[in-house]
């Protein structure tokens, strides 16, 4: 199976490296981090996990040539980079390729669907965590389940092959018929953890260790939950809060993706996380003042 990872940063390189190690023909495409691409070309991709170092020989490129005959294209760019990435790859994109996004947030799907038939589009959520340590070096920061679902259409034997490959690669993956619900359940967690850790410049554990932030995070999660109910989420408020707190506890030492962006002076995914809740809340006439406040405070 030929796979092209578009936006091979931390998570994209991790997925690509593991899939290459399992025997897939993988290309890592990243036009904006040339140093990362060069390091992989010269030394392979280095994946560090605790004391273990995995080195994978995997082709890396800054051009779109490899896309033409890809069976699977993984979109791993930041949510706000999706439109630009899709414009870049569209001329080489094959309408037969499966296109998979496990990006954080919601709302970037529309940018992908401008170029990809909805029955070839796979959306996913993942609890895998990765950090870019430097050019060619990724830390496998957290292991957890990945769930994939087809945007439109039934499960097929082609999807069975993709899932089997992910399993062989050590990426615990399941198919879901309810991917939209799962996206919104994950969104609730990101709404509560990401902006607060970013604003207070603290690792995820602060959400449970600081009683005031814990209270605020719970209220943000409940507000997001009211909107998420329109997308199939059936959690109670207590369950939604418990999920936020469990993730914050389990990833207590992690620096959230939003805080990483803020520390590096980069734009954040706020428009696709709390901003998405605000937009959807307005459409549904559900007030979301806390999510609006966090969206305004983070700014971009």
Name the one range near ligand PAF by CB under 6 A: 69-77, 163-171, 209-217, 248-256. Answer: 248-256
Considering the complex, state which of residue 66 and residue 270 has its C-beta at the smaller distance from ligand PAF: 270
Contact 295, 275 (CB under 8 A): yes
Considering the complex, state which of residue 102 and residue 162 has its C-beta at the smaller distance from ligand PAF: 102
x-marked contacts with ligand PAF along 218-247 as a string, rule CB under 6 A: -----------------------------x
- In whole angstroms, give the CA distance from residue 180 to residue 215: 27
Give residues with Cβ within 8 angstroms of 51, minimum separation 6.
none
Report the residue from 257, 268, 288, 291 that binds ligand PAF according to the rule CB under 6 A.
257
Contact 84, 68 (CB under 8 A): no
Considering the complex, state which of residue 176 and residue 254 has its C-beta at the smaller distance from ligand PAF: 254
Place of tokens 């414009």: 87
Report the residue from 13, 128, 256, 295 that binds ligand PAF according to the rule CB under 6 A.
256
Task: Identify residues 104-123 at the interface with ligand PAF (CB under 6 A).
Answer: 104
- In whole angstroms, give the CA distance from residue 60 to residue 78: 19
Report the residue from 61, 251, 268, 274 that binds ligand PAF according to the rule CB under 6 A.
251
- In whole angstroms, give the CA distance from residue 277 to residue 195: 13
Instruction: Quote the tokens at residue 73.
Output: 């294209």
State the nearest-atom distance from the C-beta of 142 to ligand PAF, in Å: 8
Give residues with Cβ within 8 angstroms of 109, minimum separation 6.
101, 121, 123, 151
Place of tokens 């999510």: 291
State the nearest-atom distance from the C-beta of 233 to ligand PAF, in Å: 16
State the nearest-atom distance from the C-beta of 136 to ligand PAF, in Å: 22
Contact 219, 193 (CB under 8 A): no
Instruction: Quote the tokens at residue 214.
Output: 């814990």
Catalytic residue ranges? 186
Report the residue from 254, 268, 274, 288 that binds ligand PAF according to the rule CB under 6 A.
254
Place of tokens 């005959």: 69
State the nearest-atom distance from the C-beta of 108 to ligand PAF, in Å: 14
294 binds ligand PAF (CB under 6 A): no
Count, residues near ligand PAF per rule CB under 6 A: 11
- In whole angstroms, give the CA distance from residue 42 to residue 274: 40
Task: Identify residues 166-205 at the interface with ligand PAF (CB under 6 A).
Answer: 189-190, 193-194, 204
CA distances from 268 to 126, 140, 154, 261, 287 (A): 19, 22, 34, 6, 23
Per DSSP (E only), the strands in the chain are: 2-6, 25-29, 45-49, 52-56, 60-61, 72-75, 98-101, 121-126, 129-134, 137-142, 146-150, 173-175
State the nearest-atom distance from the C-beta of 91 to ligand PAF, in Å: 31
Name the one range near ligand PAF by CB under 6 A: 24-32, 232-240, 251-259, 285-293. Answer: 251-259
State the nearest-atom distance from the C-beta of 143 to ligand PAF, in Å: 13
Binding site for ligand PAF (CB under 6 A): 104, 189-190, 193-194, 204, 247, 251, 254, 256-257
């Amino acid at each position: 199976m030929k796979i092209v990872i578009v936006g091979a940063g931390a998570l994209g390189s991790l997925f690509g490296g593991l899939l290459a190690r399992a025997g897939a023909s993988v290309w890592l495409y990243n036009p904006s981090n040339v140093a990362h691409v060069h390091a992989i070309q010269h030394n392979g991709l280095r994946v560090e996990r605790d004391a273990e170092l995995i080195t994978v020989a995997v082709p890396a490129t800054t051009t779109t040539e490899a896309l033409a005959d890809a069976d699977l294209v993984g979109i791993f760019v930041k949510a706000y980079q999706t439109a630009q990435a899709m414009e870049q790859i569209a001329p080489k994109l094959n309408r037969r390729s499966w296109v998979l996004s496990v990006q954080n947030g919601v709302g970037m799907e529309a940018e992908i669907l401008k170029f990809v038939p909805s029955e070839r589009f796979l959306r996913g959520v993942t609890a895998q965590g990765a950090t870019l340590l430097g050019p060619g070096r990724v830390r496998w920061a957290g292991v957890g389940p990945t769930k994939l679902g087809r945007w439109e259409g039934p499960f097929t034997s082609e999807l069975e092959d993709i899932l089997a490959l992910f399993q062989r690669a050590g990426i615990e993956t399941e198919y879901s018929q309810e991917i939209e619900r799962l996206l919104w359940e994950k969104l609730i967690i990101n709404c509560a953890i990401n902006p607060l850790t970013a604003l207070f410049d603290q690792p995820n554990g602060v959400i449970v260790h600081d009683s005031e932030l814990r209270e605020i995070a719970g209220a943000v999660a409940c507000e997001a939950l009211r909107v998420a109910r329109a997308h199939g989420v059936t959690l109670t408020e207590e369950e939604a809060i418990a999920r936020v707190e469990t993730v914050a506890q389990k990833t207590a030492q992690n620096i959230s993706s939003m805080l990483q962006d803020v520390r590096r002076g980069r734009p954040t995914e706020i428009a696709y996380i709390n901003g998405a809740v605000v937009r959807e809340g307005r459409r549904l006439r559900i007030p979301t003042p806390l999510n609006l406040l966090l969206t305004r405070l983070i700014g971009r």
